[in-house]
Structure 1
Amino acid sequence: MSHKRIPKRKAALAAGSVAALGAAALLLPHANASPTNADDAAPKTFKAADVADVASQLASQLGDAVAGSYYDASKQQLVVNVVGNNSNVVNQIEKAGAVANEVKNSTSTLQAAAKTLKRDATIPGTAWAVDPKTNEIQVTADSTVTGAKWNKLTSTVDSLGSGVAGVKKSAGTFKTFVSGGDAIFAQANGGGVRCSLGFNVTASDGSPAFLTAGHCGVAAAQWSDSQNGQPIATVDQANFPGAGDFSLVKYDDPNTQAPSEVNVGNGQTVQITQAADATVGQKVLRMGSTTGLHDGSVTGLDATVNFQSETDPNGVDTVTGLIQTDVCAEAGDSGGSLFTQDGSAIGLTSGGSGDCTVGGETFFQPVTTALAAVGATLGAGDAGAGAAGTADPSATASDPAGAGDQSGGAVDPSAGASDAAGAGDQGGGAVDPSASDAAGAGDQSGTGMDDGSGLVNTTP
């Protein structure tokens, strides 16, 4: 949608892995909000990492006159939606270097519509989030939403009025991705569970820990860095379903070094320097131990997803406050890191409807809200991250390995087979996000453990 501009106015586990830096052409300009010409009111160019703060400040100052914002990556501009042609509001937006875009629906209108959807259309296999590019709520229904369920959903959307919400179908099924950063393993209910480590953090008591998905944390209490290995970490807090999908898992050895970095394979790492809020339109990277590294864009914020309950055939596990993207993911990628090429931690993989063959929607828990909820801080004092390497489209093999990788190599999303192995792997080569040779224990698509909401403290 084109916008209408208003005139004048070193751990046992590394924190995830990466792919697709080169062929995905995600190198963003490192401009620092500088004017594109001498006119102070002209739109400025922003780094994607800076957009969320500017948008938040404008929303706080201007209130309901602002109806969301998004990042125009092609122009490196921040677009802020304005309800009506309010010259004072427009002037303040343009003074901040953003582009004012006149829209119909206010934030309160869209929030009221979301409440109606929650009340009348909480159906397994549905999701919704505000799309600021269209100034509508984008409702998505997976392949299980048919017949009476589909009729109920569409009639609810129609009741919201013209131009408030739209519905699209997804070919897949919304599910959590338990089964793919670095792989972590657990044994539960007589079977193997596999997830991915998101980001290393420091718990409130100063102990080393990491973040992963909440549905992983409620599935099992103890986690290992190898399929049949001894546990090395224990869940301290877990939240799923409800307001988020996140877990804090503490390393059992308090001397564990947990560097604040993402493992990109081939002995290369990207240092994670901050946690940041997502912005619609932002380019992001996702790493998971099943599918390696994939890239895409943020398409919605504060998303609500209604997963079919794993414990109640007639129940719904509703999760709110998620980031919606067009990045692919598959079973085993749950908990894996969503981040930016310049080192911002953005999210933890929750679930979605697609795969890395046909694509689909994938939802992520925001890192900023997870950190606030569990009282942790990003990274550790010993954050010896290496430099990311140069993309090489001619490379042939991949090993998104664990912490301790020291060899060089190329990062290449078009390379050959991948081996998303455990911690300590030393192999080089190129990362291939399309491969899925990630040895693991019995991939599972759901938690099968808990459908209660709220923060679960699993400390013995």
Structure 2
Amino acid sequence: MHPPLTRLAVALALVASAVAVPATALASEGGAPVSALYAQAMTRDLGVDATQVEARLAVELKAAKTEEKLSQSLGSSYGGAWFDESASTLVVGITDAKQAARVAAAGATPKLVKHSVARLSASKNALDRAPRPAASDITSWYVDPATNSVVVTARPGADNAVKDFIAASGADRTTVKVEQATASYHTTIDSFPATEWAIYGGSALLLPNGSCSSGFAVWRASDGVFGMTTAGHCGTVNTPATFRIVNGPLTEQGTFRNSMFPGSGDMAFVSHDSYQFEGTGFVLQQVLDYTGRAIPVDGLQEAAVGASICHSGISTGFRCGRITARNVTVNYVEGPVTGLTQTSACGDFGDSGGPYLAGTQAQGTVSGGDRGCSSGGRITFFQPIRPVLQAYGLNLMTRFGPMPG
């Protein structure tokens, strides 16, 4: 038998180095080459020319950094931001026209809006505190910067339920926009046996009654425990789990050390029980692209609404879409979950807990969605990574070493 660290190194060696597209533009923004499969997935799912993937990701990464700075500097006049794909630029909402010059100087496009993000968030938070509506009537609610509103999605025929929900919340009705939901949303844990893959982001995490996907490698300095993130609905605290290795009989045992679902997150930390991080080195974080290669993780810069994003999981492999909303409350049958991010990528049962990437930047882990890819599903939700790291005192493992949240 290999000692724990050697076994982990053997598993890492099973995935060949990524075939990368040219990376001059991406590298200039602090990114890294992505695999050929990443480019192919964006071409398949988003219609992006494979030769333009590097440039597209570089522009989106730059937009994310600009949004982060402007959201702080604009203060109470900040009205949210989103990436306009057609113009390949970041659009920033402002409630004060005098701030337009500041936005333009940062390289973004200013747009005068009625409501600040603070005002929209107050309405959204009021909805979160209201008595929970039936999941069969109202499926989600979130702040949408592009329409400068709080969007409530509801099933056909639920007009009265929507009216009562908004009234009971006390939310500012002038900020709320109601849209028709195309499907109900469910978590994506799989109750069927999983295929053997590696201990990477996107690989199988076997559970007593089903399977999910592993998310991001993390380390907790306070107790020296190494492990992976995943979705909270995959297991409760002390639930045993098994990590599967690439195309081989080796398995590694794990335990759910922390878990939350439903409520203010769909998050969990699963320890890798036979390996202790001793501070003398670090494990390289990689995500399976499902061609036998892996994608490095370099950081956790949050991507903008409208930016492209991809996830890895045991059921659908590697799938891409765009971020369509942040801070979404999803009204699952098990209960509402706040703080999720919505995307247009499809997913399926077994993808729960799998990692979402924007280029080589960690974004979060799959929570749930609508119909599966084969059934025309085009909505998935993910738990952002930063709240997980902060809640459980974890450091994200990157190829440069541990990174705090």
| TM over 0.5, shorter chain | yes
Match of 2:270 among 231, 249, 264: 249
What's the RMSD between the two structures over aligned residues? 3.2
Q: Which has the bigger relative contact order, CA under 8 A and spacing at least 6? A: 1
Match of 1:195 among 212, 216, 219: 212
Contact in 2 for aligned 1:131/1:137 (Cα 8 Å): yes
Compared CA separation, residues 262 and 82, structure 1 to 2 (3 A): same
Matched, 1:166 2:177: yes
Identify the residue that residue 35 of structure 1 maps to in structure 2: none
Q: Is the 8 A contact 1:203 1:250 kept in 2?
A: no
Q: CA deviation at 1:224?
A: 1.0
Query: Is the contact between residue 355 and residue 366 of structure 2 (CA under 8 Å) also seen in structure 1?
Result: yes
Instruction: Tell me how far 1:99 sits from its aligned partner.
Output: 0.8
Name the residue aligned to 1:218. 236
Question: Contact 1:170–1:353 at 8 Å: present in 2 too?
Answer: no
Q: Superposed, which structure 2 residues align to 1:146-295 within 5 Å?
A: 146=158, 149-150=161-162, 152-153=164-165, 160-162=172-174, 164-179=175-190, 181-187=202-208, 192-204=209-221, 205-218=223-236, 221-226=239-244, 232-254=253-275, 258-295=283-320
User: How far 1:65 moved relative to its partner?
Assistant: 0.7
- What is the aligned counterpart of 2:390 among 354, 368, 372? 372
Is 2:123 the counterpart of 1:110?
A: no
Q: Per the alignment, do residues 264 and 65 of structure 1 end up closer, same or farther by CA in structure 2, a change over 3 Å counting?
A: same
Counterpart in the other structure of 2:73: 61
Counterpart CA distance in 1 for 2:53 and 2:142 is 26
Q: Secondary structure at the match of 2:274?
A: coil
Q: Separation in 2 of the partners of 1:52 and 1:291?
A: 27
AA partner of residue 372 (structure 1)? Q
**TM-score scaled by length of structure 2:** 0.75
Structure 2 residue identity aligned to 1:168: E
Q: Distance in 2 between matches of 1:361 and 1:155?
A: 28
Describe the SS at the equivalent of 1:122: coil
Secondary structure of 1:49 counterpart: helix
Residue of structure 2 equivalent to 1:81: 93
Aligned equivalent of 1:299: 324
In the alignment, structure 1 segments of 5+ residues that lack a partner are 1-9, 33-45, 310-316, 384-460
Tell me if the contact between 1:157 and 1:166 (Cα under 8 Å) persists in the aligned partners: no
**Aligned partners of 1:186, 1:339: CA distance in 2, in Å?**
24
Distance 2:251 2:55 in 1: 44
Q: Secondary structure at the match of 1:265?
A: coil
Q: Distance in 2 between matches of 1:199 and 1:115?
A: 29
AA partner of residue 363 (structure 2): I
For the 8 Å contact 1:217–1:237, the answer to whether it is kept is no
1:96 to 99, 102, 106: 106
Letter in 1 for 2:184: T
Question: How many pairs are equivalent?
Answer: 344
Return the offset for 1:255: 5.9
Per-residue displacement from partner, 1:107-136 (whole Å, max 9, x unpaired)? 232123213323446314221111111111
CA distance in 1, matches of 2:291, 2:378: 28
Q: 1:21 to 1:269 in 2, by over 3 A?
A: farther
Mapped partners of 1:113, 1:129: distance in 2: 10
Q: TM-score, normalised by structure 1?
A: 0.67
Higher strand share: 2
Compared CA separation, residues 79 and 258, structure 1 to 2 (3 A):
same
The answer to whether the 8 Å contact 1:28/1:47 transfers is no
Q: Per the alignment, do residues 71 and 232 of structure 1 end up closer, same or farther by CA in structure 2, a change over 3 Å counting?
A: same
* Larger relative helix fraction: 2
**Counterpart AA for 2:232:** G
The answer to whether the aligner puts 1:349 opposite 2:366 as a matched pair is yes
Conservation of the 8 A alpha-carbon contact between 2:95 and 2:112:
yes
| AA matched with 2:384 | P
Point out where structure 2 has 5 or more consecutive residues left out of the alignment: 1-7, 16-36, 195-201
Q: Is 1:154–1:167's contact at 8 Å kept on the other side of the alignment?
A: no
- C-alpha distance in structure 2 between counterparts of 1:59 and 1:229, whole Å: 47
Deviation at 1:29, TM superposition (A): 4.6
| Percent sequence identity over aligned pairs | 29
CA contact (8 A) 2:81 2:145 kept: yes
Per-residue CA deviations over 1:159-205 (Å, capped at 9, x if unaligned) read 7444x222223332222111181121111xxxx22111111122224
Amino acid across the alignment from 1:271: P
8 A Cα contact 1:79 1:98, kept in partner: yes
Report the CA distance shift for 1:361/1:48 in structure 2 as closer, same or farther (over 3 A).
same
Instruction: Say whether 1:359 aligns with 2:351.
Output: no
Query: Deviation digits for residues 389-448 of structure 1, max 9, x if unmatched?
Result: xxxxxxxxxxxxxxxxxxxxxxxxxxxxxxxxxxxxxxxxxxxxxxxxxxxxxxxxxxxx
Residue 133 of structure 1 corresponds to which residue in structure 2?
A: 146
Structure 1 residue 68: deviation in Å? Answer: 0.3
